[in-house]
Amino acid sequence: MIFKDDINLREFPFKMELSIKPLIEYWENSLEGSNSYRNHLIEKLRDDLNNAPELYEPITSSEVIEKHNELIKCLFHVIFPEAFWEQRIFAGMHPFTLKSFIHSGEYGRIIKPIEDSVPEKLNMAADILLER
């Protein structure tokens, strides 16, 4: 877990939330009526999202991401196209960390081994974070 349970929030001055609601809204709004394939995909996503109402709320626990990993990965395909999954390096990161919750194959091969050696907890004083 990388969210609030891992960092003393009294010392860390920012909320540690991840919101994918704008991404869900993109799927719901911008692709409507495009073609039958996309409409079928959107209907499948709606069904899956109806079973995952917590994805519409700010995510504050890694368990939510782990529970809905495949659905989140599907939603992220508009940002990280599957055609580039094995050729490009990209990742979605947990807030205020260097830990990915979704990443491409190239990221997994090249960067993930390094990422796994980076401490999960932030080690920076609040006055330094708020200085800028």
67 contacts: CB under 8 Å, gap ≥ 6: 52
Which of 43, 71, 99 is at the close of a domain? 71
pLDDT of residue 1 exceeding 50: no
- pLDDT at residue 97 above 60? yes
Q: Classify 40 as helix, strand or coil.
A: helix
- Considering the domain architecture, whether residues 39 and 56 belong to the same structural domain is answered as yes
* 36 plus 60 within the same structural domain: yes
pLDDT, average across residues 108-127: 68
Q: Determine, yes or no, domain membership for 58.
A: yes
Sorting pLDDT into bands at 50, 70 and 90, what band is 29? confident
Q: Within this chain, do residues 67 and 84 fall inside the same structural domain, yes or no? A: no
The count of domains in the chain is 2
Report the phi/psi class of residue 96: left, alpha or beta, with left for phi > 0 and alpha for psi in -120 to 50.
Answer: left
Q: What pLDDT sits at residue 21?
A: 93
Q: What is the pLDDT of residue 108?
A: 87
What integer pLDDT is reported at residue 131 of this predicted model? Answer: 56
Task: Determine the angle formed by the axes of helices 36-50 and 21-30, rounding to 10 degrees.
Answer: 140
**Domain range enclosing 35:** 15-71
Q: Are the CB atoms for 102 and 91 separated by under 8 Å?
A: yes
Q: In a 10 Å sphere around its CB, with 0-12 CB exposed, 13-18 middle and 19+ buried, how is residue 47 labelled?
A: exposed
Q: In whole angstroms, what is the distance from residue 104 CA to residue 95 CA?
A: 18
pLDDT of 35 over the 70 cut: no
Residues 24 and 56 in one domain: yes
Q: Find out whether 2 and 66 touch, Cβ atoms under 8 Å.
A: no
Same domain membership, residue 91 and residue 55? no
